[in-house]
Every structure is written in structure tokens, then in C-alpha cells.
Structure 1
Amino acid sequence: MNARILLQDAREEAISRMEDEAAKLGANAVISLRLSSTNIAATTSEVMVYGTAVVVE
């Protein structure tokens, strides 16, 4: 599997986890989503996603 596909999968997983955590807080949406990825080493990357959990009525 190439690195681009692995990074895309990691981004999707990070967003999914953030959505799950927001739902646990009672939110039904996330706004101001931020996503970043960093190469930590030659074969290691870090993906970080964050946003604000909100309730949209």
C-alpha cells in the first residue's frame, strides 16, 4: 500500500474518531475543523484533527 493511501486512511480514521467523541458529548455537528499531518520520522507520520463540537437545532 502506498504512503498516500495510508495517509488518507489515517485522516479518515481521525475524523471518524473526532465525530464519535463529539457525539459522546451530545453534539450533532463539528465546526471549524482543522486537520494537520506531520512527518515524525522517515517512515512515521502523525495526523491530528480537531474542531468545535456543537448542537445544531
Structure 2
Amino acid sequence: MDVKNKGVEFDVYGNDGKFRGDCIITKAGITWCEGKVRRENGVRVSWDKFISWMNEQ
């Protein structure tokens, strides 16, 4: 799947069906928006930081 400039947004739900937030994947990185937080107020992580964090696990 090609990621366009605006990115791809996924709704995230817990096992209980409760809405947890949105995960937005863009060319620049990943943005997490907990609950009803707007995209511009979400927590942004660059791909380099995300890859480094995942490799530490």
C-alpha cells in the first residue's frame, strides 16, 4: 500500500470494543491520537525513532 502525503488513518479499538484512539501513518512517521485528540495535537514519532524503539524491544 502506498502512503500518500496525508497518510493512512486507523481507528484503534480495545478487545472490549472500546475506542482507544487513532494511529496515523505518514511518509514522515507515525502519529498517535489517544481518544478524541485531533491529528495536529497527537504524539508524533519519526520513522527513525520508531525503528530504534522497536529494535530495542
Report the TM-score when normalising by structure 2.
0.29
Structure number having the greater helix percentage: 1
Rg bigger for which structure?
A: 1
Select the structure with the greater relative contact order (CA < 8 A; seq sep ≥ 6).
1
Scaled by the length of structure 1, the TM-score of the pair is: 0.29
